[in-house]
Homo-oligomer: A and B are copies of this chain.
Amino acid sequence: MADNRILLAHGSGGKLSHELVKEFFLPVFDNPILNRLDDRAEVEVAGVKLAYTTDSFVVNPLFFEGGDIGKLAVCGTVNDLAMGGAEPLFLSVGFIIEEGFSLDMLRDIVTSMKKTADEAGVKIVCGDTKVVEKGSADQIFINTSGIGAVPEGVCISGDLAKPGDKVIINGFIGDHGIAVMAKRQGLSFKDRIASDCAPLNGLVKKMMEVSKDIHVLRDPTRGGVATTLNEIAAQSSVGIVLNESALPVREEVQAACEILGFDPLYVANEGKLLALVPAEIADRVVDAMKHHPYGREAAIIGEITADHPGKVVLATGIGGRRIVDMLVGEQLPRIC
């Protein structure tokens, strides 16, 4: 943080974001719950285990192929809860709106939130609205927080990956980032690319019916699959080997990435999860996922090793290996 100013990259979800959290927020707020660095906190009230999380959404543009800021604001928080194996129950919503914003657009956003909340089975139970002068915010920002119930016997965390675990993903990567970028830049592709934005709690429930012995679940949003796997490798002190040829990437997303100069591994997803599970249950988990609408293209894409702890390595199609680092700098500002 050399120049003592907040940079766009501090919000990227990548390296600078992690530095900000580790060197800046954690030392001040210091407590064991926050220090765990999962996407949600696990807290106990009167003996009941709760999952608790928050996210703000500043996506630009507000509406894009496959979603909008409202859908995103519900899915993002529902998914953070689901990534702990928790059953999402209640959401709060805080709007910060620029003076002059269209009430029709607000109605569309709010209606989209409600529809998504219904799909996920959560209730929006409290809210707040602030309005700032024209020019003091860009249209609308939405914060949601969420509470979930953690079922008995479930213990899922980024620090629980074990050598031998398989890495599973539930489908194509990079769709969300490219859909938002395309809308923002006015690009059109022969095949329209839609965001994968979706609530994943139903899919997680299906997976847990196979086995509760899931070690890690995480949704690769900002910073993409590469950044999320680096986080897990660091938290669990394990190595991860990714099999490049197994990575599900749509042809049109791959093509768009080549034109735009992106690597799909770093592009944001909003309806994807990475699951790290013991090898012996991996195939059954994948099979169960394939029977769920949000898991049809589920695949095993890599495995956990005791070698090179803290590092993610890509085994390329042509037999090479290269290190996959966290996202450095900012790739796609305001992607969520």
Given A93-B54, A133-B333, A333-B131, verify A4-B104 contact (CB < 8 Å).
yes
Given A103-B1, A114-B29, verify A136-B133 contact (CB < 8 Å).
no
Given A10-B97, A103-B5, A138-B137, verify A43-B90 contact (CB < 8 Å).
yes
Interface string of A164-188 (1 = CB under 8 A from B): 0000000000000000000000000
Interface string of A18-44 (1 = CB under 8 A from B): 001100110011010110000011010
Interface string of A224-266 (1 = CB under 8 A from B): 0000000000000000000000000000000000000000000
Q: A62 to nearest B CB, angstroms?
A: 13
Q: Is A143 an interface residue (CB 8 A)?
A: yes
- Copy total for this chain: 2
Choose among B54, B89, B132 the residue that contacts A127 (Cβ–Cβ < 8 A): B54
Choose among B53, B111, B141 the residue that contacts A141 (Cβ–Cβ < 8 A): B141
Which of A21-75 touch B at CB < 8 Å? 21, 24-25, 28-29, 31, 33-34, 40-41, 43, 45-48, 50, 52-58
Smallest CB-CB separation from A26: which chain B residue? B127
- Interchain CB contact under 8 A, A24 and B107: yes
Cα distance, A141 to B143, chains bound together (Å) = 11
Choose among B46, B47, B124, B129 the residue that contacts A17 (Cβ–Cβ < 8 A): B129
- Interchain CB contact under 8 A, B46 and A149: yes
Q: Is A8 an interface residue (CB 8 A)?
A: yes
Given A5-B100, A45-B149, A89-B43, verify A130-B56 contact (CB < 8 Å).
yes
Which of A277-316 touch B at CB < 8 Å? none
| Chain A residues close to B by CB (< 8 Å) | 1, 4-12, 17, 20-21, 24-25, 28-29, 31, 33-34, 40-41, 43, 45-48, 50, 52-58, 89-90, 92-104, 106-107, 110-111, 113-114, 117, 123-133, 135-138, 141, 143, 145, 147, 149, 333-334
Additional A-B contacts beyond A10-B131, A41-B92 (11; CB < 8 A): A10-B129, A11-B97, A21-B129, A29-B110, A29-B127, A31-B123, A54-B94, A56-B96, A96-B141, A130-B141, A132-B138
